[in-house]
Amino acid sequence: MLRNLFPHPIWLPFSWLFRLGVAFKNFLYDHKLFPLYRPPVPVISVGGLEAGGSGKTPVLLTLVRYFLNRGTSVAVISRGYRRTTSGIRCLKEKTDWRECGDEAYLVWKKTRVPVVVGKKWKAARWAVENLKPDLLLVDDGFQHRKLARTVDILVSSDWETLKAERLLPAGPLREPLKSLRRSHLLLFRQHKNPKLPFDRPAVPFSYELTRARLWPEKRELELPALKQKKLFLFAGLGQPENFLESAKRWQLSIAGSYGLPDHHPYTQAEVDWLVEKSKASGADFLATTEKDAVRLAGLSFPGFSLVVLEIECKIEGEEYFFRKLEDRLFGRTFV
């Protein structure tokens, strides 16, 4: 939605100024004129060039599961975007999502690994000193250069779309495309390997619908049966159109859809409006994402049912991706 405003020519001069600011900051870090915090354990950052909506959280969850299955103790570092608290906080059983941010809460809820929110380098130092993990996973850390990383994974939309984008505020890019060279591994949301103008391992990925649950009782619905029902989709994401496109690819029957800004805090009045909108469309259910379900806590859907669609990141050539990741992580030859 906001992206529709970006191409307006009035923003271009501000994009040029933004480019200068980014270039100056990167120059200072590239030439070691700013100090870094280097944790005594490996650090993997999952970041992106685009402002929101590139699919970093499902990738982060995939990495958490991968390392947990290998017996590695992990701590996740997050800024805790739009949280109501300040300072450093470690998520606990009774933490309210507003105190840590919806994405941080979702990661903790699905994995139960320690999630530390705060300014990233300070949160990383706190985690190392208090939790003593084997590995730090940093959510959206590509631009946070004060925290040194062992591996920078950059997640983005398809390469052809990315090439056509502009810098903020005229477009969604937080850095110029040449910053991709700072990354060690690239994940693109497309179905074939991209042809890049530089040498970096680049792997396509997609979202796969794994289960659907009625909210808030969490009763699971069979996916074949769900595909026979009409759904009214809504989501507050950086790129809600991606949710709609994915639902079509999953062969869901869509009666209507409505997009909201990323991290949107829902109210009961909005929920009531969505229920009426869904009824008017002839839908059998409202449907949304797990991240949106976090922000719906405490609200009710009178006379209607909400389905939460749970997804996972499917990396094409997963074995190749994790081999390259471990090559970099453990200092093996990275080619």
Q: Is 32 exposed, middle or buried (0-12, 13-18, 19+ CB in 10 A)?
A: exposed
Asked whether residue 119 falls in the same domain as residue 149, the answer is yes
Q: Is the pLDDT of residue 2 over 50?
A: no
Task: Give pLDDT tens digits for 156-177.
Answer: 988 888 888 999 999 899 999 9
Percent of the chain with pLDDT over 70: 96
Q: Which residue matches tokens 């530089």?
A: 198
**331 belongs to a structural domain:** no
- Pairing mode, strands 230-236 and 253-260: parallel
The enclosing domain of 120 has a CATH number of 3.40.50
What mean pLDDT is predicted for residues 141-157?
Answer: 95
Do both 22 and 137 map to the same domain? Answer: yes
> Are 130 and 254 in a shared domain?
no
Domain boundary among 200, 219, 236: 200
- pLDDT number for residue 332: 54
Domain closes at, from 200, 221, 246: 200
- 237 near 225, Cβ under 8 Å? no
Per the structure, the count of domains in the chain is 2
- CA separation for the pair 133, 79 (Å, rounded): 18
Computed over every residue of the chain, the mean pLDDT equals 92
Query: Do 29 and 150 reside in the same domain of the chain?
Result: yes
Give the count of beta carbons closer than 10 Å to the beta carbon of residue 92: 11
Query: What pLDDT is stored for residue 204 in this prediction?
Result: 92
- Strand runs labelled E in the chain: 43-47, 74-78, 89-90, 115-117, 135-139, 151-157, 185-189, 202-215, 220-221, 230-236, 253-260, 285-289, 306-315
Query: Does 141 share its domain with 77?
Result: yes
Same domain for 193 and 211: no
Tokens 């120059």 sit at which residue? Answer: 27
List, for residues 217-228, the tens digit of each pLDDT value: 889 999 999 999
**pLDDT tens-digit series, residues 232-243:** 999 998 888 888
Same domain, 179 and 233: no
**Beta pairing, strands 202-215 & 220-221:** antiparallel
Domain span at residue 290?
A: 207-313
Domain boundary among the residues 165, 200, 235 is at 200
Please report whether residue 220 resides in a domain: yes
102-111 vs 56-69: helix axis angle to the nearest 10?
A: 30
Same domain for 57 and 166, yes or no, is yes
CB-based contacts of 28: which residues, under 8 Å, 6+ apart? Answer: 34
pLDDT 10s digits, 176-195: 999 999 999 999 987 677 77
Nearest partner of 7 among 126, 165, 187, 138, judged by Cα: 165
pTM above 0.75, yes or no: yes
Q: Residue 131: its pLDDT value, please?
A: 97
Residue 121 has pLDDT above 70, yes or no: yes
My answer on whether 245 and 270 are in the same domain is yes
